[in-house]
Structure 1
Amino acid sequence: MPNPPAPPPGVPVLVLNGPNLDLLGLREPAVYGKDTLADVDELCRATAEAHGLRADCRQSNHEGVLIDAVHEARTAHRGIVINPAGYSHTSVALRDALAAVELPVVEVHLSNIHRREAFRHHSYVSAVAETVICGAGAHGYAMALTHLARLLEENP
């Protein structure tokens, strides 16, 4: 009987994107930039690999699917980079899932949520995130993964 294939190299981390981020590059490019979600995923994979990580990039418009991915990360990943998008401001359930899995979390937002509408200034996720990066566009994901790699190195 043949051996099962070896897992890909690198420490697995989850990169999770919330609602409407599948429309990146099309939706309000003046706010969110011209990079597509595929561009962001490629950046994440390259940045992760440069730091000895392996990025598992996912996106969903459905809160329960995001929560299920967070639950799965508890045993399949070592950390989470998340752009909860609109769920930042509304989802106590997503916040609770992130707290429950006890993994390092880095929250990222493409735009500076503090320079936008007042309802965007509060994020439920921020209270359980090690770090919050906002306003750096797609580069914020590279910053988030670089920081997550440092966190994982400091706390193996």
Structure 2
Amino acid sequence: MYFWNISKLKLDLVANKLTTLCDLKYLIATLALLSLSVTYSENSNLFDYLSTLVDICVLTFGTWFCYRVNGGKTSKDFLRRYLSIGWVVGIRVIVFSMPVVIATYFLFDFAGFEVLGDATLLDVGVTLFFSSFFYWRVFVHMKQVQLTDEKQAEFNK
């Protein structure tokens, strides 16, 4: 299971080296992370729900675009590619987004905006930005794997 090395992962995907056990590991890890991300309480407000709605829309369209770039109905190993690339990209986005998010919230707080406590439009914007960024990167990597796979198939003819 890869946590960081997207280049090696893509090579292994093209070489068809990942197994169904690998798929299961990526699925479990991804679902475990997702289950930690959303919690509501009686203090939840409209922006909490709007942020979740935005994230679900980005997730749906992002996944659909990844499916299309992988070949659509004739796609090869879509879930394997999607889950493994998504896992590595997700780890990278988390690592690189944390300093940006902390700095952004600090600057907004310093400027006098209320950023701690109830969810705000800023939270919705951060969700939209990083969810979109995540799916854009997954799309790019899946496209590279698909193109490499097509070139390899053409070479083998």
TM-score, structure 1 normalization: 0.35
Bigger Rg over Cα: 2
Higher helix share: 2
TM-score, structure 2 normalization: 0.35
Higher strand share: 1
